[in-house]
Amino acid sequence: MQMSLAWDPPIREKVKLNVDGARGFLETTSVIGLVVSRSTWAKLTRVFQDYVWRWILFL
What's the pLDDT at 48?
87
Summarised one tens digit per residue, pLDDT across range 4-25 is: 555 566 777 777 777 787 788 8
Structural domains in the chain (count)? 1
Range(s) of the domain holding residue 8: 2-58
Q: What are the angstrom distances between the C-alpha of 28 and each of 12, 34, 55, 56?
A: 24, 10, 38, 39
Answer with the residue of higher pLDDT: 1 or 54. Answer: 54
Per-residue pLDDT at 55 exceeds 70: yes
Determine the average pLDDT of the residues in 25-43: 79
Rounded CA-CA distance 25/27 in Å is 5
